Structure 1
Amino acid sequence: MLLLRNIAFYIAFYAGSLVLSFGAAGASYVRPAWVKPLCDWWSDWHHWCCENLLGLTIVETGTRPDRPVLYAIKHESFFEAIAMAHTFDYPAGVAKAELFDIPGWGRAGKAYGLIPVARDQGAKALRGMLKQARAATEAGRPIVIFPEGTRVPHGTRPPLQSGFAALYKLFGLPVVPVAVDSGPLYHRTLKRRGTITWKFGEVIEPGLPRAEIEARVHEAINALND
């Protein structure tokens, strides 16, 4: 049954992804307003496939604020990246600038309102990031970041990337740390049944020193590691 569930998931999800991804890339040229619903449908389709084909149960604990915040999320698998648009209300994700050079995807990402992290590109790039972040929050959108910078194995506690504290200071937003335990179930190959939990931590207000914000976020996003 495990193998059959995975075969059904891969066929259904990637067939839908092909259609919706090409649709979003094409819409970025002719009708940018269509990019958001297409991306949302893609994330919703992934959620349906996870629950109905893989047999995953996806739950949330904790409380989300009803104001724009910076969500700092544990990153254990592709699950949380794909689930972003389904889980959050029109999130402005922070992504590496080089991803925007990918043909089609880059234009679609910009049209959706993702924020490129332009490392080592000076003050002009930082001003551009700040402008996009302000536009997102003024529109009531949350900003989402993976402060570890990349996927990490479940149970590990790597230090946060140094850029996280800089963005926390730059954006001036409250932070909500989010723990996710997708790693043990959402493998790159055979994905297993079980429960994936999003654990929303307490709101951390802006203005804290770097050492304190990093320590508090690091502890909170690893709350599901045991």
Structure 2
Amino acid sequence: MKIFATIRFYWGAFIISFNTAVFMIPALMLFGKHKSTIVHHINRLTLFMMGGKLAQEGTMDANADMYVMNHQGIVDIIGLEALQNNHLRWVAKKELFEAPWFGNLLRHGEMISLDRQNKTGLLKLIKDVKESKDLYHRPVAIFPEGTRTDKQPLLPFKKGSKIIAEKLELRVQPIVITGSKWVLNEHIKTGHSGTVKYEFLPSFSVKSDDENWFETLRKDMQKVIDDEFNNNHCSR
């Protein structure tokens, strides 16, 4: 019933906020050397308390420099952090760094801030990704759609991800996420118990002379999304 789904949404939102504010941020401040492990275990706890489970297909390439994913909501991030422990460095819009609680989480987690209103934002992003690769040795996680959507078709990918990958000659791995919107739908404010699936597609090294790689990547991800819906009745 819709009323129970609505109650589950607010329960999920509370759990995410509570665990972030009470457990994750203080732990990151006190035990900075173990950030990746802290984020991994607390997100596993959060997903469990929300009634979510994880499924994986394919293998995550630990040598990838950038992971590109479709995006439905915050459960995408929670689930991937719960699934692996590779110390990802997420790219998030600047406004999120200014938000209560989550802004502190992003800053203490040393995530990457993207100012989409600033003309120099792309230059800063290139610099930050290069530092992630060469200095911090942390892979970058990015949503090339640039925003959340509740639709099945992927939104057009922003060109920033393409420019960065080509300029820095990154190794890229696409990840297709399905089921997260069922666990927590931020558009219509409903929640359910369910499984979030992460399908890891083959990684590849970007060559600037392959002009079509970015569109091919998007088509490959869309095909997985469509197959998952048609064969398993699981939306993204």
Q: CA deviation at 1:176?
A: 0.8
> In the superposition, relative to structure 1, how do residues 46 and 70 fare at CA in structure 2: closer, same or farther (>3 Å)?
same
Query: Are the counterparts in 1 of residues 25 and 104 from structure 2 also a CA contact under 8 Å?
Result: no
Whether 1:17 and 2:14 are equivalent positions in the alignment is no
TM-score, length of structure 2 as denominator length: 0.74
Secondary structure of 2:219 counterpart: helix
Match of 2:233 in 1: none
Deviation track 1:1-31 (CA, whole Å, cap 9, x = no partner) reads: 9939827655544432331355268x2xx87
**How far apart in 2 are the matches of 1:21 and 1:177?**
27
Q: CA deviation at 1:158?
A: 1.8
RMSD: 3.2
**How far apart in 2 are the matches of 1:47 and 1:134?**
32
**How far apart in 1 are the matches of 2:47 and 2:95?**
27
Deviation track 1:44-100 (CA, whole Å, cap 9, x = no partner) reads: 3223224xxx2x331010122231321100102221123343234110111112333
Q: CA deviation at 1:153?
A: 1.6
Unpaired segments ≥5 residues, structure 2: 230-236
Query: Are the counterparts in 1 of residues 176 and 225 from structure 2 also a CA contact under 8 Å?
Result: yes
From 34, 43, 53, the equivalent of 1:57 is 53
> In the superposition, relative to structure 1, how do residues 79 and 103 fare at CA in structure 2: closer, same or farther (>3 Å)?
closer
TM-score, length of structure 1 as denominator length: 0.77
**How far apart in 2 are the matches of 1:190 and 1:103?**
23
> In the superposition, relative to structure 1, how do residues 70 and 12 fare at CA in structure 2: closer, same or farther (>3 Å)?
closer
Query: Are the counterparts in 2 of residues 70 and 145 from structure 1 also a CA contact under 8 Å?
Result: yes
**How far apart in 2 are the matches of 1:206 and 1:40?**
29
Q: CA deviation at 1:148?
A: 0.4
**Identity across aligned pairs (percent)?**
17
**How far apart in 2 are the matches of 1:196 and 1:68?**
22
Counterpart residue type for residue 61 of structure 1: E
**How far apart in 2 are the matches of 1:65 and 1:141?**
13
- The residue correspondences of 1:109-128 to structure 2 (distance < 5 A) are 109-119=106-116, 121-122=118-119, 126=122, 128=124
Secondary structure of 1:183 counterpart: helix
Match of 1:44 in 2: 44
Q: How many equivalent residue pairs?
A: 218
> In the superposition, relative to structure 1, how do residues 173 and 95 fare at CA in structure 2: closer, same or farther (>3 Å)?
same
- The residue correspondences of 1:83-162 to structure 2 (distance < 5 A) are 83-88=79-84, 89-102=86-99, 105-119=102-116, 121-122=118-119, 126=122, 128-138=124-134, 139-162=136-159
Secondary structure of 1:90 counterpart: coil
Unpaired segments ≥5 residues, structure 1: none
- The farther-off stretch of 106-115 and 176-185 is 106-115
**How far apart in 1 are the matches of 2:72 and 2:122?**
28
Query: Are the counterparts in 2 of residues 68 and 140 from structure 1 also a CA contact under 8 Å?
Result: no
Query: Are the counterparts in 2 of residues 100 and 109 from structure 1 also a CA contact under 8 Å?
Result: yes
> In the superposition, relative to structure 1, how do residues 170 and 24 fare at CA in structure 2: closer, same or farther (>3 Å)?
farther
